[in-house]
Structure 1
Amino acid sequence: MADSMLRVEHIAGKGRGLVASQALKAGQIILTEPPLILYSSSPLSSSSSYCDHCFRTLLPTTLLSCPSCLNHHFCSNKCLSTSLNSSHSSTICQALLSLQHSPLLQQHHQVQARFVVALHNLAVSEINTLLSLHGTPDDSILQDANFLHDLISPLFPNKKLSVDLVAQALAKDRINSFCLMEPYNPNGPQRSIKAYGIYPKATMFNHDCVPNACRFDYMDTTYTNTNTNDIVIRLIKDVDEGEEICISYFRIGRDYATRKKILMEDYGFVCGCERCKVEASWSNNDEIDDDHDHVPHVRFLKKYVCNIKNCGGTLAPLPPKHDAPFNNNVLECNFCGNFKIDDDDVI
């Protein structure tokens, strides 16, 4: 995060958030961040079709397997070599193999187990960063932590983590992790989650149902200016100095009832943005149509929601070029990757 672009401030009714420390333009990339922790969403009992290091989709011609367990696969010699010295070390490999064959580990705990195993691979400073994030264990997490600690701790005799630390980490993961999604397919089912990652700086962006920034990832693309599992935050609109920068925690085209349910169940709060205040007064049968064009957020949605089949992602201007820094009328979708020429009036 460029210190010259953003600063942390207390936001009334929200807690801490990020505001612009200078005037910023649509399309500017304001954050590129690697994950603090990254782990697969696949249960231990099932095989994955993604590289276990970078999480790109595996191709049969490039598939390489872990020489010890043969259960984890990689897309290149580079990913295999890097992983064997970090996220899939011999200790991690043996722990995952042991858990895979454990009769005590039911499927609903297997993804959590992946997280706790990955937690053991963090340095002390990284664990402290994780623990600095928001999130408090409830009774359910405390119960999960006790079970997973008793099961996994013996697999790491040289790195003992307390039950309380595991509980705190699980609570942080629950509300701070980002979903890394499968590639878009216009004819396929809804995209499923391939991995979860925690990006400490990105977690400081608060939610808004009409955001002025959105998240991009380039895991399955040839985009070369970032590592494939980095998170990239790009501005949708111009932002004034001192203005809070917000992202949406889900696709912005969702209706009020769905947004309200997700935010309460997954994040524990009720959104008080202007869009929610307006749509809360609409009847259940109201839909966004031409009759609502006078409403600012409706015009925003019509401009910035991708209309490609089976998509509904968020459009944002391409990053400014050095020779034409703030005159870009090409919008890119953060979901399907398609481009659109923006010939609409400025909102």
Structure 2
Amino acid sequence: MLNQPNPNGPNALLRLVQKPDRGRSLVATRLIKPGEVVLVDKPLLIYPSSLASIPPFCSRCFRHLPGKPFHCPTCLVARFCSRQCLSLSHPRLLCCALPSLICGNIAWPTDLLFLLSAYSLPRYPLRQVLSLHSNSRFPDESTQILHSQLSSLIPPKMVPLNFSFETTSSLISKEKTNSFSLTPKETKFDGRGIAGSRAYGLYPWASMINHDCLPNVCRFNYVDDPDQENNTDFIVRAFHQIKEGSEICISYVGVSRLYGDRQRSLMKDYGFKCECDRCKIESKWKESQRKSEDEEEEETGEENEEQVVEGEGEEVNSDDEDFPHAYFFERYMCDCGGNLAPLPPSDGSVSDMMECNCCGEVGIDTSISEDPNNF
């Protein structure tokens, strides 16, 4: 059971259900308005994306460091943006291993940063990480090498009680399937993955949001916002109106990626073939038509590669049955490649201001005027 007041859902807006064809799913408990925040999820674990992420960012909250940061008195490598972050420190096994990781000419796998952080968790949060769903399978040989390297970095007196090859293999599988990036604003998507990711996080409820190739929710990242106290929270807002009982869905790949590209990526990284409404339509297109539509999508905007940007096809309609996602690209895609969602409603009224989850730009909705109640 997750460490939340309500085991049936993360909040009053969402309910956890079990679907025969999709497993654990989060569905709306009432009508959700455009721009409404549907989920604020705190991380089980935050860890650096690479050794290069350690010097310029706080090792606790991953904000940019001030001119005079606070150094970790133990490893002398990690630095913190405030006394509060210093007091909270960073994972103890990672702290112990950092001097070895940054010295010498050994190219350590970045997966070690995750494993050292995960094995530093108290027993219950670690159990939560291990309870996350995963379809991924990784070669025993590569995992065995990782486990051996990990063993060499942990002092005998600090070896966790649950330290084993099986646990290491399970942790790697969970991380590959469930991690989300912490990416600063003004970072453009590179068409394959997140450019400029400084850290990754595992979130208990966000990991239960299933995939769809047309979105109804969008994640917003405020890692550098000085006014955001909990800057690593996973914040999800609705693109448009979502009916009661509808499933909340994100995309595990970029919205504007091509049909074949999406399918290959989903099978390779997550172990399933997508059969959402959009994919069912695009799978029937002739190859020449697919290429023509794909070129049109690329002109609409660069590929958005946040791991969190999709929803249910049934909620976004188009006049053209053969191209139902045209409206999405017109209204919810930013020129930078990010996604646009309305600001949260004020006094119950839907905002006409759209915010990009990538570049952070906020502007008036200039798309075709539609009554949000029609979605």
Alignment of 1:302 with 2:326, yes or no, is: no
CA separation in 1, counterparts of 2:199 and 2:332?
26
Partner residue, 1:197: 201
**Shift in alpha-carbon separation, 1:155–1:72, aligned structure 2, 3 A:** farther
CA drift at 1:149? 4.5
1:237-260 CA distances to partner (integer Å, 9 max, x unpaired)? 111111111012243222323322
1:287-307 CA distances to partner (integer Å, 9 max, x unpaired)? 3379x9733311111100012
CA drift at 1:88? 4.5
Partner residue, 2:340: 315
Within the candidate set 232, 249, 253, 2:235 is matched to 232
CA drift at 1:63? 2.8
With the length of structure 2 as denominator, give the TM-score of the two structures.
Answer: 0.79
Partner residue, 1:279: 282
Partner residue, 2:358: 335
- Answer with 165-174 or 265-274: which moved more: 265-274
Partner residue, 2:29: 21
1:22-45 CA distances to partner (integer Å, 9 max, x unpaired)? 12111111111121011101137x
Q: How many residues get paired?
A: 331
SS of corresponding position for 1:288: helix
CA separation in 1, counterparts of 2:220 and 2:72?
30
CA drift at 1:336? 0.9
Specify every segment of 5 or more residues in structure 1 that has no aligned partner in the other structure, as ranges.
none
RMSD, matched Cα: 2.8
Q: Indicate conservation of the 8 Å contact 1:251/1:314, yes or no.
A: no
Partner residue, 1:248: 251
**Shift in alpha-carbon separation, 1:2–1:35, aligned structure 2, 3 A:** closer
CA separation in 1, counterparts of 2:28 and 2:42?
21
Give the letter aligned to residue 298 of structure 1.
Answer: A
Partner residue, 1:345: 369
Q: Indicate conservation of the 8 Å contact 1:252/1:313, yes or no.
A: no
Q: Indicate conservation of the 8 Å contact 1:55/1:195, yes or no.
A: yes
Alignment of 1:134 with 2:133, yes or no, is: yes
Partner residue, 1:71: 77
Write out aligned runs for 1:1-347 (5 A).
Answer: 2-43=10-51, 48-59=55-66, 61-83=67-89, 87-89=90-92, 92-101=94-103, 106-107=107-108, 109=109, 111-135=110-134, 137-140=137-140, 142-154=143-155, 157=158, 159-160=160-161, 161-185=163-187, 191-224=195-228, 226-280=229-283, 281=285, 282-286=289-293, 287-288=295-296, 294=320, 295-307=323-335, 311-321=336-346, 323=347, 325-343=348-366, 344-346=368-370
Give the letter aligned to residue 296 of structure 1.
Answer: P
Q: Indicate conservation of the 8 Å contact 1:10/1:17, yes or no.
A: yes
Give the letter aligned to residue 194 of structure 1.
Answer: R
**Shift in alpha-carbon separation, 1:222–1:245, aligned structure 2, 3 A:** same
CA separation in 1, counterparts of 2:153 and 2:169?
13
CA drift at 1:314? 0.8
Give the letter aligned to residue 5 of structure 1.
Answer: L
**Shift in alpha-carbon separation, 1:34–1:26, aligned structure 2, 3 A:** same
**Shift in alpha-carbon separation, 1:47–1:21, aligned structure 2, 3 A:** closer
- Answer with 270-279 or 202-211: which moved more: 270-279
Partner residue, 2:307: none
SS of corresponding position for 1:117: helix
CA separation in 2, counterparts of 1:10 and 1:153?
39
With the length of structure 1 as denominator, give the TM-score of the two structures.
Answer: 0.85
Give the letter aligned to residue 208 of structure 1.
Answer: D
CA drift at 1:145? 4.8
